[in-house]
Amino acid sequence: MSATAFSATLDAPRGAGGIALSVRGVSHVFRSKGRRVLALQETDLEVREQEFLTIVGPSGCGKSTLMNLIVGLFPPTSGQILLRGTPISGINRSIGYVTQADNLYPWRTLRQNVEFPLEIRGVPARQRRERAEALIQRVGLGGFGDAWPYELSGGMRQRANIIRTLAYDPDVILMDEPFGPLDAQTRLILQNQLLELWQSERKTVIFITHDLGEAVALADRVVVMSARPGRIKAVEEIPIPRPRNLFEIHADDRFRDAYKVLWASLEEEVRKGSEV
């Protein structure tokens, strides 16, 4: 699955247009080897249209489970999830999913990978190529369209993974630790590019990360989840105007203040999670 696209002017009100996604009283139980594991418990969350929402929490708190429920990979044990008021049942093509692994097809070039979602939707070849090429140029991969995935760096492959999702224009994009395996410098560059893309495309983005600094730098709001069974513990607005310069944002007092508030909420859950 796939991602989003960019520019740099943004004064429209954040989350304009109402609620894109509603999670209502969602709980989920996994059963394995006769054991019952409550992964999520009575989770409620509303995500605004065009919002960039980040989610943090200790390992095993159900962040990825929540994403899988939203995309429709399996139904919740109880509660419901609605996309613009309509309950989600099964895989929904209006929702794109970018995972930590790039999942590029090794037998396809970068351009062919980006074109793939359009190809299976029957988009004419010329339009597919134009859309793919525009996105490739936008994320700085011009000249690599004919390269095979093994010829690309990790950062380049993840950019391709993101624009492959963006290519078919989903309404909501889920991102599960997309920059997790990358080095710090590459992460920062891709974070900045992602925000530029989002500011251009204005999709609704839900982004999971273990990095609280990344969560604060990217988000309109940050959600803190509790240790398992996961639930929403806190939601914090980030009062930093856009566009943002991620290369300098850590020196902003508003960044530091938001980080302190969120860490105070997260630290207890991280300690609990390490004891599970």
pLDDT digits (tens, 9 = 90+) for 89-113: 888 889 999 988 888 999 999 999 9
- Which one-letter DSSP state was computed for residue 43? E
Query: SS3 helix, strand, coil % of the chain, rounded to 5?
Result: 35, 25, 40
* Domain count within the chain: 1
Angle at 134 between CA 216 and CA 100, to 5 degrees: 40
Give me the residues of the chain with pLDDT under 50, please.
1-16
Domain presence at residue 6: no
pLDDT at 275: 60
8 Å CB contact between 228 and 30: no
pTM for this predicted structure = 0.89
115 located within any domain: no
Residue 253 falls inside a structural domain: yes
**Residue 276's pLDDT is what?**
53
> What pLDDT does residue 93 have?
83
Q: Bridge-partner residues for 223, per DSSP? A: 55, 235
Whether residue 185 lies inside any domain: the answer is yes
Q: Does residue 85 lie in a domain region?
A: yes
* Residue 157 falls inside a structural domain: no
In a domain, 139, yes or no: no
What does the pLDDT read at residue 14? 41
Identify each DSSP E strand in the chain by its residue range. Answer: 19-32, 35-48, 52-56, 78-83, 86-87, 95-98, 172-176, 204-208, 221-225, 232-237
pLDDT at 91: 87
The domain in which residue 62 lies consists of 19-100+172-275
Q: What is the CATH number of the domain that holds 56?
A: 3.40.50.300
Question: What's the chain's length in residues?
Answer: 276
pLDDT at position 190, please?
92
In a domain, 141, yes or no: no
